């Protein structure tokens, strides 16, 4: 945490951290709101899955051209646009009165989130010192994780005590403040503006996919995203619709993982820079995430085993049953897993993208590989939840995560072996 606080003394990093804070706080608060909408509108598992798919499908369509556009234009302007789109999203959520409206606003939210995520990560990667990518990206994500925790706790409390509209007004204010920080402190054209023919667009993406590490990471994220998105979408819905957990208590559950993630991610980013072999961090974090996902269905057992804790606080009665404590523990495991995997994964994409002066394009590949699973995963897992059971849905998600880890390792090792063999052949020819 100390490393991240130290970086905040840099005005440009502070401005970028402001965009991460606004984006992540809004994302977390809205996930809790989705659980409330699921109860309000009596949605099925498939419709709940569409809450996730709607957010992802527009991102799948725009992420590659957006990444290239950021590479070839002024990234500061894109950050400001993304923040403005998010303000429109909050006003849209103030007006929803059906599940269909929620799905439509989620599409617009996907646009704003894509712009902020790709552009913010790209600019951090560009302006960070060459030997501190892991530290800067880890600290950037650490700020996002802390903000996400604030969204869970504060956003959950606001939804519980003040309702939808007041909550969205607060989110609007935070986003406007981030807009002002970027406008005032971030340099003009911070890392964008690559010549249009320097990366070659599609040719650059093909060249990036020829790199063994990029290829392995893309395949990994295709499968991993199916499992993780099931957790992100359906755990709050499970807590609300199955156990009647309040919005504030749902925020506490999610905060368990966010707390461990915010505390440890910057340190793990430093560790991955020092140790190297970042692929080991990716695999270890993914396997631990699969374990945490498999623990979620235990909430049914503990809800009937542990006596609930009841108390009056924060404007109403809080009832914390066995399911609450079970889900809280599971999400803490997931937070540790993410802190191991994320800094290494992002740093690997940045390092590989720098080979072609196309960090944003590399981050676009990172994002689009996630979006494929994010589009198909929620609806597929939601259908399993609707027609089979919630427990089977989470076990299926855990299976996708474990398989993704094995696939990543196999693809990376085979591709690296082929690259090494070709390098040996080239060396032999040169010697001749």
Which pLDDT belongs to residue 250? Answer: 94
Helix axes 212-243, 278-295, angle to 10 degrees: 20
Q: Could you report how far apart the first and last alpha carbons of the chain are, in Å? A: 54
- Give the C-alpha separation, 26 to 171, whole Å: 6
In terms of residues, how long is the chain? 432
**Would you write out the chain's pLDDT as a tens digit for each of its 432 residues?**
555 566 777 788 888 888 989 998 999 999 999 999 999 999 999 999 999 999 988 888 887 777 777 777 788 888 999 999 999 999 999 999 999 999 999 999 999 988 888 888 778 877 777 666 667 777 887 788 778 888 899 999 999 999 999 999 999 999 999 999 999 888 787 665 554 444 446 777 788 888 878 888 888 898 899 999 989 999 999 999 999 999 999 999 998 887 887 677 777 777 777 776 778 888 999 999 999 999 999 999 999 888 888 877 776 677 889 999 999 999 999 988 988 888 888 888 888 787 777 777 787 788 778 888 888 889 999 999 999 999 999 999 999 999 999 988 887 787 667 666 655 555 454 555
User: Tokens 């924060």 sit at which residue?
Assistant: 314
Q: For residue 64, which of 336, 432, 303, 362 has the smallest C-alpha distance?
A: 362
Which pLDDT belongs to residue 432? Answer: 55
- Give the C-alpha separation, 211 to 97, whole Å: 47
- Give the C-alpha separation, 156 to 32, whole Å: 7
What single-letter DSSP state applies at residue 275? H
Count of CB atoms situated within 10 Å of the CB of 392: 14
Which pLDDT belongs to residue 198? Answer: 43
What the block records as the tokens of 57 is 């499908």
Which pLDDT belongs to residue 197? Answer: 44
Q: For residue 102, which of 163, 181, 41 has the smallest C-alpha distance?
A: 41
Which pLDDT belongs to residue 130? Answer: 67
- Give the C-alpha separation, 110 to 59, whole Å: 6
Which pLDDT belongs to residue 428? Answer: 52
Which pLDDT belongs to residue 386? Answer: 93
Which pLDDT belongs to residue 140? Answer: 82
Q: Transcribe 212-246 into DSSP letters.
A: HHHHHHHHHHHHHHHHHHHHHHHHHHHHHHHH---
- Give the C-alpha separation, 320 to 309, whole Å: 5
Q: Transcribe 7-29 into DSSP letters.
A: HTTSHHHHHHHHHHHHHHHHHHH
- Give the C-alpha separation, 226 to 372, whole Å: 8
């Amino acid at each position: 945490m100390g490393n991240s606080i130290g970086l905040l003394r840099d005005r440009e990093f502070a401005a970028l951290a402001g965009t991460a804070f606004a984006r992540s706080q809004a994302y977390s608060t809205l996930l809790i709101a989705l659980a409330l909408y699921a109860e309000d509108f009596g949605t099925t598992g498939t419709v709940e899955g569409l809450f996730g798919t709607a957010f992802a499908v527009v991102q799948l369509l725009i992420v590659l051209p957006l990444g290239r556009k950021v590479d070839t234009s002024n990234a500061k302007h894109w950050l400001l646009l993304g923040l403005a789109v998010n303000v429109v999203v909050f006003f849209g959520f103030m007006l929803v009165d059906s599940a269909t409206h929620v799905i439509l606003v989620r599409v617009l939210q996907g646009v704003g989130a894509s712009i902020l995520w790709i552009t913010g990560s790209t600019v951090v990667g560009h302006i960070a010192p060459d030997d501190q990518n892991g530290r800067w990206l880890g600290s950037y994500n650490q700020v996002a994780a802390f903000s996400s925790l604030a969204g869970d706790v504060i956003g959950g409390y606001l939804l519980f005590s003040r309702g939808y509209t007041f909550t969205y007004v607060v989110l609007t204010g935070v986003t406007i403040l981030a807009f002002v920080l970027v406008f005032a402190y971030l340099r003009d054209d911070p890392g964008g503006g690559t010549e249009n023919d320097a990366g070659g667009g599609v040719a650059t993406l093909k060249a990036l996919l020829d790199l063994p590490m990029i290829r392995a990471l893309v395949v990994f994220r295709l499968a991993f995203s199916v499992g993780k998105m099931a957790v992100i979408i359906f755990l709050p819905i499970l807590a609300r619709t199955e156990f009647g957990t309040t919005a504030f208590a749902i925020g506490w559950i999610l905060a368990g993982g966010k707390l461990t993630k915010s505390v440890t991610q910057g340190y793990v980013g430093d560790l991955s820079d020092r140790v190297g072999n970042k692929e080991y961090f990716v695999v270890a974090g993914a396997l631990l995430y699969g374990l945490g996902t498999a623990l979620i269905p235990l909430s049914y057992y503990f809800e009937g085993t542990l006596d609930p804790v009841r108390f009056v606080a924060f404007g109403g009665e809080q009832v914390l049953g066995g399911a609450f404590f079970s889900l809280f523990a599971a999400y803490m495991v997931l937070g540790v897993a993410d802190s191991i995997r994320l800094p290494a994964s992002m740093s690997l994409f940045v390092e590989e993208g720098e080979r072609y002066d196309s960090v944003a394009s590399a981050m676009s590949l990172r994002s689009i590989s996630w979006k494929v699973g994010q589009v198909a995963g929620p609806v597929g897992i939601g259908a399993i939840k609707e027609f089979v059971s919630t427990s089977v849905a989470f076990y299926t998600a855990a299976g996708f995560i474990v398989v993704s880890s094995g696939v990543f390792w196999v693809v990376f090792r085979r591709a690296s072996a082929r690259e090494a063999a070709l390098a040996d052949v080239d060396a032999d020819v040169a010697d001749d």
